[in-house]
């Protein structure tokens, strides 16, 4: 049995949204703030072995992205704990991790440092990342000028090429042109042959079948099943068709 790379133990995560109040109500209830508490992840537990590629499925709003961001350290669980066993974790997701006012090149340096990489190591892989991203001269322009496809290319290039122990992928493989998607799939196949641990959130069933050893299914924030990719996806598809 391989070493455990990640342990998620009875994790629950809440969102707190202030309820809308009219100006008249706020004057009558001065200083009182009411909030809705939404449980986005509800008592979820699982472990991932080192080198495993785990898919995560669930309909929109099931807590998949919230769970990934919590594993990445962006959110702290309200209950339970997440143990990454000292592994360095990178999150590949649209809209996360880049400063929009910095250039692509500057964001590569900053992202690498945030991932715990040495500056010299990031610089050593700079041109490889830029070449893989296919951004050309745009690498010297602010990220706020990028399309979502360009952003995803840079995000994938940084996360796939810089060496982290656990890689979290949130729908990025489904974004971009067909040529880049095929190149991304090839890179993922290379990662599968390494000892890197990967978690993939995706609605693309074929992608999950292609890459994942197992699939985790969550629904409305709750754990439903963890097991063989084909078996879990078959049950999930049947559930979604009801």
Query: Which pTM was predicted?
Result: 0.81
Residue 34 has pLDDT above 70, yes or no: no
Strands 4-18 and 53-57: unpaired
For 42-80, how does the pLDDT look when each residue is reduced to its tens digit (9 = 90+)? 999 999 999 999 999 999 999 999 999 999 988 899 999
Percent of the chain with pLDDT over 90: 57
Q: What does the alpha-carbon distance between residue 242 and residue 32 come to, in Å, rounded to a whole number? A: 43
CATH for 4-241 (3.30.450.20, 3.40.50.1000, 3.40.50.300, 3.40.630.30): 3.40.50.300
Residues 6+ apart with CB under 8 A from 109: 119, 122, 123, 126
Contact 170, 93 (CB under 8 A): yes
pLDDT of residue 77: 96
Percent of the chain with pLDDT over 70: 88
Taking the domains of the chain in order of start, what are their residue ranges?
A: 4-241
Give the distance from CA 167 to its chain's centroid.
8
For 130-180, how does the pLDDT look when each residue is reduced to its tens digit (9 = 90+)? 999 999 999 999 999 999 889 888 988 998 898 889 989 887 666 567 888
Helix, strand, coil % (nearest 5) of the chain? 40, 30, 30
Residue 201 has pLDDT above 60, yes or no: yes
């Amino acid at each position: 049995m391989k070493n455990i790379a990640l342990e998620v133990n009875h994790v629950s995560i809440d969102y707190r949204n202030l309820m809308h109040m009219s100006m008249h109500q706020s004057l009558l209830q001065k200083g009182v703030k009411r909030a809705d508490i939404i449980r986005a992840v509800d008592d979820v537990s699982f472990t991932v072995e080192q080198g495993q590629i785990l898919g995560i499925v669930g309909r929109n709003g099931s807590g998949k992205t919230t769970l990934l961001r919590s594993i990445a350290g962006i959110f702290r669980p309200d209950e339970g704990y997440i143990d990454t066993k000292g592994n360095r974790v990178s999150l590949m997701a649209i809209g996360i991790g880049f400063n929009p006012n910095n250039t692509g090149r500057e964001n590569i340096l900053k992202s690498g440092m945030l991932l715990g990489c040495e500056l010299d190591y990031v610089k050593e892989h700079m041109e490889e990342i830029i070449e893989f991203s296919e951004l050309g001269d745009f690498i010297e322009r602010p990220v706020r000028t990028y399309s979502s496809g360009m952003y995803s290319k840079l995000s994938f290039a940084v996360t796939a090429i810089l060496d982290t122990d656990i890689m979290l992928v949130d729908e990025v493989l489904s974004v971009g042109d067909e040529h880049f998607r095929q190149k991304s799939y090839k890179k993922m196949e290379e990662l599968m042959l390494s000892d890197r641990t990967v978690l993939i959130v995706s609605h693309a069933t074929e992608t999950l079948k292609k890459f994942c050893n197992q699939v985790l299914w969550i629904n409305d924030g709750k754990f439903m099943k963890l097991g063989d990719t084909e078996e879990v996806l078959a049950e999930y598809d049947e559930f979604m068709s009801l």
